[in-house]
C-alpha cells in the first residue's frame, strides 16, 4: 500500500473504529516516513533515530483518541514527531544552531506538502476517472506514456489525449473558468 495522505488517514480512521489490522498497518507504514523525517533533521547515530521513531509510534498509538478525523492525518503525526525531536534535543542538552532551527521546528515543508497533496487530490477528483488516473500516472508517479498505457490497458495516444484534456480542464478550474 502507498503511504499517501488519504491511505494513512483511512487506516487511522479504520483503526479508531476498532480495526486492529488497519491500525497495525498504519504503524508499519509510518516507520519509513518517520525515519526519513528524523534523518533529515539529525546528525546522530541510527540508534537515536530508531529511538525517536519508536517513541513517535508509541505516541501516535497512545494519543490516537486526540486525532480529529476532519483534519489531515500527516500534519497531526508530524506535529507529534516534532515534539519528540524537541524533547530529544532537550534531553541531550544539545544546542541547535539557529540557522537550522527553521527546518527543525516548524517542518513547514511536510505540512505544505500534505496540504498540496490534498489540493491535488481534490482537483483530480473533479476529473473523469481515466483522465485523473493518467495525470496521476504520468505527472505525479513519473511513468512514461508507454508505461501508463500498459498499466491502464489503453493505447499511448489515449493516454496523451486523456492527460492533455485533463490538464486543460484543471487549468480552467484553477482559473475559475469551469
In tens digits, the chain (178 residues) has pLDDT values of 567 888 899 999 999 999 999 999 999 999 999 988 888 888 767 788 999 999 999 999 999 999 999 888 998 999 999 999 888 888 876 555 545 555 545 454 566 666 677 778 878 888 999 999 998 888 877 888 998 899 889 999 999 999 999 999 988 887 876 5
Task: Tell me what pLDDT residue 155 has.
Answer: 93
Task: Tell me what pLDDT residue 77 has.
Answer: 93
3-state secondary structure 9-56: HHHHHHHHCCCHHHHHHHHHHHHHHHHHHHHHHCCCCHHHHHHHHHHH
Taking the C-alpha atoms of residue 114 and residue 75, their distance in angstroms, rounded to an integer, is 7
CA dihedral (120, 125, 131, 133) in degrees, to 10, reads 70
Taking the C-alpha atoms of residue 1 and residue 3, their distance in angstroms, rounded to an integer, is 7
Task: Tell me what pLDDT residue 164 has.
Answer: 94
Amino acid at each position: 500500500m502507498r503511504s499517501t495522505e488519504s491511505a494513512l488517514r483511512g487506516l487511522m480512521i479504520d483503526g479508531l473504529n476498532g480495526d486492529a489490522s488497519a491500525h497495525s498497518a498504519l504503524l508499519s507504514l509510518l516507520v519509513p516516513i518517520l525515519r526519513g523525517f528524523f534523518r533529515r533533521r539529525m546528525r546522530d547515530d541510527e540508534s537515536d533515530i530508531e529511538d525517536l521513531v519508536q517513541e513517535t509510534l508509541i505516541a501516535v498509538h497512545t494519543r490516537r483518541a486526540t486525532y480529529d478525523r476532519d483534519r489531515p492525518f500527516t500534519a497531526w503525526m508530524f506535529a507529534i514527531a516534532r515534539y519528540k525531536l524537541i524533547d530529544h534535543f532537550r534531553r541531550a542538552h544539545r544546542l541547535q544552531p539557529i540557522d537550522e532551527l527553521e527546518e527543525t521546528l516548524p517542518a513547514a515543508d511536510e505540512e505544505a506538502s500534505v496540504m498540496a497533496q490534498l489540493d491535488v487530490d481534490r482537483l483530480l477528483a473533479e476529473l473523469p476517472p481515466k483522465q485523473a488516473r493518467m495525470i496521476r500516472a504520468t505527472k505525479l508517479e513519473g511513468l512514461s506514456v508507454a508505461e501508463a498505457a500498459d498499466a491502464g490497458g489503453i493505447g499511448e495516444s489515449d493516454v496523451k489525449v486523456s492527460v492533455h484534456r485533463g490538464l486543460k480542464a484543471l487549468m480552467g478550474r484553477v482559473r475559475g473558468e469551469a
